[in-house]
Structure 1
Amino acid sequence: MNTYRLMVTGRVQGVNYRRFVVDMAHALNYVGYVKNRNDGSVEVVMNCEYEEDLEFFISKLYDGSMFSDVHDVTCQKIDYLIFDDFEKR
């Protein structure tokens, strides 16, 4: 299992984007968190076992919520973190 930090930029705050990410993560049984950042971006930290699953999740992040407009998603592998659930912070 690996832990990844995804940084999502664009119009992703104030448009139910975090709720979208939480719902998608719960549907896929992922654990981690999503939170707004002061610079207007959204940070997603999650555990994922397979690269194909990570690529699928990133493609869904680009789809976003109804009123979001995602410009970019960057991905960085970080030290392993343990989570019980996926939460909105």
Structure 2
Amino acid sequence: MKTLEVNVFGVVQGVGFRWFAQQAAQKNNIVGWVRNRKDGSVTIQAQGTEENMANFLTTIKKGPGFYSRVDDVEIESIAPFESNVFAIRY
């Protein structure tokens, strides 16, 4: 099991990025959450198998499409947590 905090920078607010991250997580059996930050970035805490996490991160790095732009992704290992869903936090 892999547990990560992922900070995504670029044009990632107001473009459906949190919804996109939730859909990617559900598709890859990832649990955790996603939230906008005051500095315009997005933070994700995610947990899943090594393979599922790799697929999830590949999708996140591409971004949801035309109106968004992912400039940088910072990834850090964190302590495991208990969850059975991937939520959008406000």
TM-score (norm 2): 0.90
Listed as ranges, the gaps of 5+ residues in structure 2 are none
Q: 1:53: how far off?
A: 3.1
Q: Which residue of 2 aligns with 1:55?
A: 54
Any stretches of 5+ residues in structure 1 without a counterpart?
Answer: none
The letter of the residue matching 1:31 is V
Q: Which residue of 2 aligns with 1:23?
A: 23
Whole-angstrom distance in 2 between the partners of 1:16 and 1:80: 27
Other structure's SS at 1:9 match: strand
Contact 1:12 1:69 in 2 (8 A): yes
**Alpha-carbon distance in 2 for matches of 1:72, 1:24:** 18
Task: Give per-residue Cα distances to partners, 1:48-67, cap 9 Å, x unaligned.
Answer: 221x4333222111211121
Q: Deviation of residue 31 (structure 1)?
A: 0.5
Alignment length, in residue pairs? 88
- C-alpha distance in 2, partners of 1:83/1:4? 14
Write out the 4+ residue segments of structure 1 that deviate beyond 2 Å after TM superposition.
Answer: 52-56
Distance 2:33 2:63 in 1: 16
Any idea what SS the aligned residue of 2:81 has?
A: coil
Superposed displacement of residue 28, structure 1: 1.3
Structure 1 CA distance, aligned partners of 2:14 and 2:5?
21
| Cα deviation code 1:56-79 (max 9, x no counterpart) | 222111211121100011110011
- Take 2:2 and 2:29, find their aligned partners in 1: how far apart are those partners? 15
The alignment-based identity, stated in percent, is 35
